[in-house]
Chains A and B, each alone.
Chain A
Amino acid sequence: MTEEKNCLDSIRKCGILGVSRIAAQIKDASVIVHGPKGCVLPAFEASLTNPLSISYTEMCRETTVFGGEDDIAYKIRKEYFTNNPRIIVLISSCASEIIGDDIKGIIHSLDLDIPIITVEGGSFINDHISGCNTAMERLVHELGAPRDENSEIVNIIPPVEKYSGWKDDGAYLVKLLGKFGISARVLFCGVDVDDIRKYPSAALNVIIDREYGSKLAEYMNEEYGIPYISCGYPIGLEATDMFISSVLRALGRESRETDEMRNMLLDEVRQSFRNGLGRVTTFRYLEEICDKKKIIVGNYDTSEAFLRFLVKEFDDNVETVIVKAPKTDDNIDLEDRLKEISSGTNVIFTDDRAEIIDHIRNNDYDVILGSDNEYLAAHGEKTFAYINVEYPWARKIDFMPDGFAGYEGLLRFIEAYYNKIADKFDF
């Protein structure tokens, strides 16, 4: 265990961001934050990457003392008649949670013809990830139609806004499963309200990042009897192959043909890689890249996936992995798993932004896989290559697909990784 601390510079933003991120994936959704002016910012942040209509109840001292239920009703009606949303997601804040406004009672009294879903956004209840999970579960809970038990669709629960490539990853994984005759869809990724209603009609739920989707998968398992599996994030050959085989196994569709197809896909990606390197690989900078000092900073699944690929599949090495999670007794097995992949890698678990910044500033890394926060921490006189694998990612723009998952994504990652390092250093 790390030193006991009383305060921290948290990497976890509040639940309003997480809930808003999910709402922003629903076409014509509006978010109303029941809280003071400052609490709108996380919803605004969610709207930076996806269009979202936002308003708030202008909570003030008077509302805090006497209750803000009238303001909620007024804002909902105003939003309904002004922007014509298909759904309204009402997010509570710390202040409105503490005073205990009867939000549900107000909503019932309005009798509008669109769904109005309430989710707790207050930071003492939800952070930006648990807020995202709560919103997914709540939306299916409120909107889900009865299950069609004959449906063979596989639901992929994505890590919404975990990094810039999450949507492309989802689309690619759907395509990949399609090669095995499996029909799949990505939940909460540019959907409309009617799509969400159909979510319970599925044969299987697949969690591809342990931080995102367990709550929804468990709920759908209990309520609708839909089984679920949890795979590691499918970045790298082994992780992608494991993703496919896990889905096939869960559906009872493993066969000699699917094994052959899996092997063929692995061969194809290796072939593409070799072709891309060209005939004379001696002049490629693979050895030089290997000598560079590297760090991965991300959530557990991101860290594990990139560590496994770089060390086990790319013959590279990684000096340090920082997992953005508090070090607890529950995480000891996760640390062991990372050590199993690469015993020489220094593994740190922390949710303290200050600790991450200090570590990066005090260790001269040549290559950083992380977010713009880590980029800024390292930014200074020393040269380093930076590959974005986590939110925020505002230092780059992408018009073409940029996900790193699956076999196509892996080749994209290798391109980005190799080219950025080669551009930075005079080999």
Chain B
Amino acid sequence: MTRRAPLPPAARAIVKGDLRALARTISAVENGDPSADPILRAIYPRTGKVPVIGLTGPLGVGKSSLVSALVGHLRGLGRAVGVVAVDPSSPFSGGSVLGDRIRLERAPGDTGVFFRSMASRGSVGGVAAATRETARLLDAAGFDVILIETVGSGQVDLAIREVASTRVVVLVPHLGDEVQTLKAGLFEIADVFCVNKSDLPGAGSAERDLAELVSLGGGRDGWSPPIVATSTVTPSGIDRLWAAIESHQRFLDSSGGRLSGERLRLKQEIVGRVRDEVAAELAERLDKDPGLRDLLDRVVARTLDPRSAADRLLAASRRGR
């Protein structure tokens, strides 16, 4: 275990529950602002003890409402909850409308909930890294459970895969037949399936279809994903959903999966950071380094192919800088 050095002031403020310091540091993380570096470094040894739960699924299945219901349930159990809700940025303007807060209901003055909306900002590794570091900041700030909500598609979905230790895939009745579920690619990441809007007709057959799919070989490492029906209208099933999540968390502890999963995610994190840094550096050198600019010119002129150019760029980077 890392020895605990004295915390820098901003990190101390976060650990003491200063929500403004927490919010600002999350922004620094999102912006790639180096002022976040010493804070993240200082808090790291204190983190990793609380469950990070991801909820993902197609648009409109009720993820935000479920998150709000789970927050209510957890507050009833006396647990403090940090939420990160990720939505895509527009590929055209870079802007976004982040609307997941609309569903959030909390008692006036309740400081046991912290909700942060996050835009994907268009970089594949970026959103996963920002989500992971934000989860760590929430952990250090004393929240007992971290919930991460993302749309289940493409790059945004990576945030869940690379951050959460229990992944809940949320579906609804009439999304399509079971082949759609196979296609979506969501199936493989589910530790828990949630059939939401179970007050609607067709919920029973959606559950049966899923159960059949799971019986064909869902889950990993001896865990078979449970299927929980929920409704945030009636409301019902929220307690069962949380029980299913907790049972997966207990399974992670008893099977040794927590450590191996964490090891894999941390490896991805380290390699991902290096990849992003090196890629950015090489892209810049390709533009500015007189010895390398020629490479791109020749590829443009079709006197050199992209693979050979990449090999030479890599070789140049290995020779040092």
Are A and B associated in one complex? no
Interface residues of A (CB under 8 A from B): none
Chain B residues packing against A (C-beta within 8 Å): none
